[in-house]
Amino acid sequence: MILHICGTEEWSKVPEDGEYRAPSLDAVGYIHCSDPGTVALPANVVYLGRTDLLLLEIDPAKVGVPVRWEDGNPPSPAGIWFPHVYGPIPRAAVVAVHEFPAQGDGSFLLPETLSQR
């Protein structure tokens, strides 16, 4: 499974039989994703302090478009690769949606619903 961070409002606009299109799909040609071990890295850089976030748990076998593991954008100094989804994500490929609350200092940790697996 791979994870994508999105706002509650963004996700609420995706119809039951629809597709999710992150703004990055038009901007850079893919949707940024992470795995459970790396999701806090972009969250703490891009979303620090936000209180309206969700984690979409995605089955890459169900997206129907290429999923490639590549350098981050910008590349991680530690050489960490991230999954990029090269097309919209069908709602049916999202197998679970997890709340992604900020900690007291505004930072993020993997939610317990995912860390207990």
The answer to whether residue 116 sits within a structural domain is no
Q: Is the pLDDT of residue 116 over 70?
A: no
Q: In total, how many domains does the chain have?
A: 1
What CATH number did the domain enclosing 66 receive?
A: 3.20.170.20
pLDDT in tens, 11-31: 999 999 999 999 999 999 999
The answer to whether residue 100 sits within a structural domain is yes
Q: What is the DSSP letter of 91?
A: G
pLDDT in tens, 30-65: 999 999 999 999 999 899 999 999 999 999 999 999
The answer to whether residue 115 sits within a structural domain is no
Strand order in the sheet with 94-99: 2-7, 53-58, 94-99
Q: What is the pTM of this model?
A: 0.93
The answer to whether residue 49 sits within a structural domain is yes
Note down the domain range covering 72. Answer: 2-109
User: In the chain, which residue ranges form alpha helices assigned H by DSSP?
Assistant: 8-12, 23-28, 40-46, 112-115
Token pair of 105 as six digits: 């200092």
